Amino acid sequence: MRALTWHSSGDVRVETVPDPTIVDQTDVVVKVTSAAICGSDLHLYGGYMPTMEKGDILGHETMGEIVEVGSAVTKFRRGDRVVIPFAISCGACWFCQKELFSLCDTSNPNKEMAAKVMGQSPAGLFGFSHMLGGFAGGQAEYIRVPFADVGPIKVPDGLTDEQVLFLSDIFPTGYMAAENAEIEPGETVAIWGCGPVGQFAIRSAWMLGAGRVIAIDRVAERMEMARQGNAETIDYTKDDPYETLMETTGGRGPDRCIDAVGAEAHATGIGGAYDKVKQTVRLETDRPHVLREAIRCCRKGGTLSIPGAYIGFADKIPVGAMMNKALTIKTGQTHVQRYLEPLMTKIVDGQIDPSFVITHTVPLEKAPEMYKTFQKKEDGCIKVVLKPQG
């Protein structure tokens, strides 16, 4: 089959690789009809994620049609159309039982590698380094899906791929980010990053009762999309987010803050230069500019929710402000399985059509150039959908 493979920083290729097969009887094999490129893929593309190997297949936002079914799978049969969560979860361990699916204790076969860095290993993820399982991703014609009874959700008739694809990741991620922000009715929520995750966090903040949503970015079309979602916007290259947020909240600061940017935050000034240099020479894996800014901006006793992905180590986090202002911090890879049914219901009921975020739809063969376009935010690119079947 054809698949998008990682080779090194900035070098991904579409190559012919062996077709996946059933390995465990709890697997299914899915013929991929749509797969998206995520902001998280950019961290791999940028070479920031350790334990990537040449030839690894990327992609964790995937859907398609089941073509092979392991003998132990009870929920699915050939021909079922499914969306696949990016986290692989066994459904049976202590963490899965508590619905902490992205923390599954059994799905990562390379647990020791992750535990060495983090103390304990989170779940295995599709297309996301060997430390997180070395699972082949979904930017390919076919994908093997382990623990099929726990992961995928069947798509009701009448919905397009574009309407449901983002249940695999960014819609639940934006939703969990807003849930983690602990929004009380009428509160002001500030969201850093108007990428796809920020866009879904904006819409989810409204669903969860926000009174005001303020989104921060510098890319014009992304801020425009945020305004279409009824957010007010701050261009951080024109107005200082701290000054602006303090002024617009009567000196109190936003009640709830969401960092939907993560490890590759862009920053002006000395702090940005410091992180850039340290990250380049690998003394720091992350550029935590937004994390610092959100801690500073958040009102006393507020909550900071962090869906933005961090990888390893970051410097100069203002822990003093965090502690003395009594902030609550919540974060994590999304427990996607928890949100599949409730968010599918919102799509079916017409409360939201997630396809609004798509700007580019291309055949898989064009994926390498779309990685570049998406990374550089050229051509108005906000979200790319790949069509592996042409």
Of 218, 276, 316, 330, the one binding ligand NAD by CB under 6 A = 218
Site string for Zn ion, 135-174 (x = CB under 5 A): ----------------------------------x-----
Site string for ligand NAD, 258-277 (x = CB under 6 A): --xxx--xxx----------
| Whole-Å CA distances, 307 to 97, 170, 192, 261 | 22, 10, 11, 8
Let me know the angle formed at the C-alpha of 248 by 246 and 252, rounded to the nearest 5 degrees: 45
Contacts of 53 (CB under 8 A, 6+ apart): 6, 130, 134
Q: Is 104 in the site for Zn ion (CB under 5 A)?
A: yes
DSSP state of 301: T
Q: Is 44 in the site for Zn ion (CB under 5 A)?
A: no
Site string for ligand NAD, 316-345 (x = CB under 6 A): -----------------xx-----------
CA 219 to chain centroid: 19
Of 28, 29, 42, 90, the one binding Zn ion by CB under 5 A = 90
Rounded CA separation 289/271 (Å): 7
Q: Which residue has 């906000």 as its token pair? A: 382
DSSP lists the bridge partners of residue 83 as 63, 153
Q: How many residues bind ligand NAD (CB under 6 A)?
A: 34
E strand segments, the chain: 2-8, 11-16, 28-37, 56-57, 61-69, 81-84, 87-88, 124-125, 142-145, 153-154, 188-192, 212-217, 232-235, 256-259, 303-306, 328-331, 360-363, 384-387
- When the beta carbons of 266 and 325 are compared against ligand NAD, the nearer one is 266
Of 40, 121, 333, 373, the one binding Zn ion by CB under 5 A = 40
**Beta-sheet pairing, 256-259 with 188-192:** parallel
Q: Is 174 in the site for ligand NAD (CB under 6 A)?
A: no
Q: Is 309 in the site for ligand NAD (CB under 6 A)?
A: yes
Pick out residues in 237-276 that bind Zn ion (CB under 5 A). Answer: none
Q: Is 152 in the site for ligand NAD (CB under 6 A)?
A: no
Residues near ligand NAD (CB under 6 A) are 38-40, 42-43, 169-170, 173, 192-198, 216-219, 222, 236, 260-262, 265-267, 289-290, 307-309, 333-334
Residues near Zn ion (CB under 5 A) are 38, 40, 89-90, 93, 96, 104, 106, 169
